[in-house]
Chain A
């Protein structure tokens, strides 16, 4: 039999407790090597859309906040175009789409200043509800966790082609942020327990 030419993806290893040194060295107190930490600023003046804050905490199975987690997010611009490599065209030049934040070393809280994303099509052409993709790494997490945050009170959430594929609809609320004050969304992530966030193999 012929063999397939595909290579194996390099296996993941935990980011460990010192991921900050490599990814957010200024946050870790290592200054003078890079002028700023990548992903610390997602938008510039003139950015299109509604400015929002997305904040939260990652909790372990005992309910303890992860103080060493690093979170990355990726989202479309206000028109639903992904900056950079979207095959449908160029996005808002004042919007990066990608952000990276370290959890606070004492409280475990992380946050992003961003804008509310527009809707993006599912592969079959139906529109997905506006959402933000998350990637979470930390000590004790052997392969980065992928999830999505959706917005509350968004009528499109009920018909979202991604969310409606989920068998256990009673878990869908784990993917929906809470608006704690106008323009501020809280999205807590639970690694285990009754409120365990849905994580995707995608």
Chain B
């Protein structure tokens, strides 16, 4: 017995694959229509990630790459929230992997060409697994905005990349978190691949002063929703499957 088919994706809520203002998408977006199918076991199942695979510092980007006694430079923040499914239930055991630029907007990557300096104490990766309620939290520094070669003067708003791995391979999702109040958000060609302003809002984390740690770090709240499952009231399945 499967737990039930995954909800179909609302492709109009997601970004438009071929978005001419995001130039790379022009040669990388499929031209033919996607073939719509109902999910099978191949999409409804997925690997299990155990909390025991995590290191103590995996969810603290301020220190997980730093020399002993050192810390990353930048505005200290805590990002926290819940992973939910479309039925509003918390998703326990979801693997979250995050990556970001340093406080100056520079990534630690061989193909990165921005002149802003590397921070010797900042790697830029972190990961966690959601708890029984689907909650997660990590500590980091606020990433800087950075320029990128697309238009002649395009800048990415400050953002953190998120990879989400819930219980089903068909729920796999990569997205980005933006910060409340950033004037670069509406200018960004990657943000603008999403056409519905309410969908963009779903990716903007509000400042959460209530969860700020005084004299330490401000907090941002970011909830993420993964595909839901149909209830199994009337499954179109033969007995025994």
Contact = CB atoms under 8 A, between A and B. Distances in A.
Nearest to B194: A11
Contacts of B52: none
Contact of A139 (B13, B24, B86, B169): B24
A158 interface: no
A85 B27 contact: no
A16 interface: yes
A140 B175 contact: no
Given A19-B99, A21-B99, A84-B47, A140 B174 contact: no
Contacts of A125: 237-238, 240-241
A151 interface: no
Interface string A80-91: 001111110000
A82 B123 CA distance: 34
Contacts of B224: 10
Contact of B38 (A34, A123, A143): A123
Interface in B13-50: 13-17, 19, 22, 24-32, 34-43, 45-48
Given A32-B65, A201-B35, A6 B30 contact: no
A128 B22 contact: no
A146 B226 CA distance: 16
A121 B16 CA distance: 33
Contacts of B28: 60-61, 66, 138-141, 191-192
A59 to B, nearest CB: 10
Contacts of A144: 172-174
Contact of A191 (B27, B48, B167, B225): B27
Contacts of A66: 28
A13 B47 contact: no
A198 B37 CA distance: 12
Contact of A124 (B64, B127, B163, B237): B237
Interface string A119-155: 0111111001001010101111111111010000000
B112 interface: yes
A14 B190 contact: yes
A135 B40 contact: no
A105 B110 contact: yes
A64 B24 CA distance: 12
Contact of A33 (B10, B125, B173, B227): B125
Interface of A: 5-23, 25, 28-30, 32-35, 38, 60-62, 64, 66, 68, 72, 74, 76, 82-87, 96-98, 105, 120-125, 128, 131, 133, 135, 137-146, 148, 162, 165-166, 191-192, 196-202
Given A38-B53, A121-B241, A192-B27, 13 more contacts: A6-B7, A9-B9, A14-B190, A18-B109, A22-B161, A85-B48, A123-B2, A131-B42, A133-B169, A138-B28, A146-B43, A191-B28, A196-B31
